[in-house]
Amino acid sequence: MKKKLHMIILLGFLTIQYGFAMDPGQITSLGKETAPSDTSGMIKPKKKGRFFISPFYQFAHLTNLKLISSVDNFKMVDGNGSYEFSQEQVDQYNQYYKTLYTNSMVGIRVGYQLMEGLGIQVFGGVSHFDFKSWVSDDNTSTMSTDYPSVLLGAAIDYKFRITDHLAALAILSYNYSKTGSTENQNNSGEKVISSKLTSMFWEANLALGYRLGHFLPYAGAGYLQQFVHPTWTEQVPYTDENGILSYDEHEFDTHYRGHAFYGFVGTEFLLFQNLSVYARCSFMNPLTATLGFRIQL
């Protein structure tokens, strides 16, 4: 699995070189799984009708997810049933346990300039995640991907030139990811026979950039809201009164939500007229690191 993921990353960076961009990247999922928004051309907004294409890699870690609801569904030989956490139980979970979401992804983004300063973009990629719930000193349940999940998203951005060297940027983006093949280390010790995880988030970024020759350092602030929906089914063995081994099924259907205000800094470097490389980091929660290239068509 690791070898396949490394090959995907390597091929993405070798086949499509990245161009002139500054990128305030985004989380997930969790999704944070997540994909970066583009802040290219801040000083000189691109003209209407221009396209760009770019590969990127991003790592993200989110720690403030909270349990919203939890339903246990039982499928047994003598009948089915379900149990839903009360609000008091939800509050107790959020008080005594942590929920963590780590995501790494590689993807491709394509953008189009609708008019000077206003652009749209769509992106897609593959993501590997690690989701931990019931995290305490002696108790953790883990779900992670067996295979990379697919992530899709869209964003809209607006760039405003303040002076010849100073510019501002606003970005609004959304992404969605779902996987149906996961590896589980559950705290019950029972065999997991099926599992899936859905992640989605929306994010808003504001940034200021100041061009210094071929460098464009920038800083900004952002807000994100992430939704994570993990579901898994355990197979619970039992022996009936006749000594026959049978199995019940116990499905855990949970919903988590997290939101955060954060800061970010980064820089881009112009390699050629339509080609650049950039790096970006956000802090403190989510903690992300983004690296990418961009080519202006």
200 vs 188, more confident? 200
Confirm if 260 and 64 have CB atoms less than 8 A apart: yes
Half-sphere exposure of 192 (CA within 13 A, CB side): 20
Count of structural domains, the chain? 1
Neighbouring residues of 59: CB distance < 8 A, sequence distance ≥ 6: 102, 103, 104, 288, 289, 290
Can you read off the two tokens belonging to residue 235? Answer: 């197979």
pLDDT in tens, 51-61: 988 899 999 99
**Residue 166, domain extent:** 2-296
CATH number at residue 276: 2.40.128
DSSP 8-state class, residue 289:
E
Neighbouring residues of 252: CB distance < 8 A, sequence distance ≥ 6: 70, 72, 230, 231, 232, 233, 234
Can you read off the two tokens belonging to residue 228? Answer: 């994570």
- The neighbouring-strand residues paired with 147 are none
What's the rounded Cα separation, in Å, for the pair 185 and 122?
Answer: 34
Q: Mean pLDDT over all residues of the chain? A: 80
Confirm if 53 and 16 have CB atoms less than 8 A apart: yes
Can you read off the two tokens belonging to residue 116? Answer: 């000077």
Q: What is the pLDDT of residue 24?
A: 33
Average pLDDT value for residue range 150-164? 92
Measured CA to CA in angstroms, residue 11 lies from 4, 19, 51, 227 at distances of 11, 17, 22, 31
Neighbouring residues of 136: CB distance < 8 A, sequence distance ≥ 6: 96, 97, 98
Confirm if 36 and 56 have CB atoms less than 8 A apart: yes
pLDDT in tens, 221-257: 999 999 999 888 888 887 777 777 878 888 999 999 9
pLDDT in tens, 244-292: 787 888 899 999 999 999 999 999 998 988 889 999 999 888 899 999 9
Neighbours of 69 (CB within 10 A): 14
Q: Per-residue DSSP letters for 117-141?
A: TEEEEEEEEEEEEEEEEEESSS--E
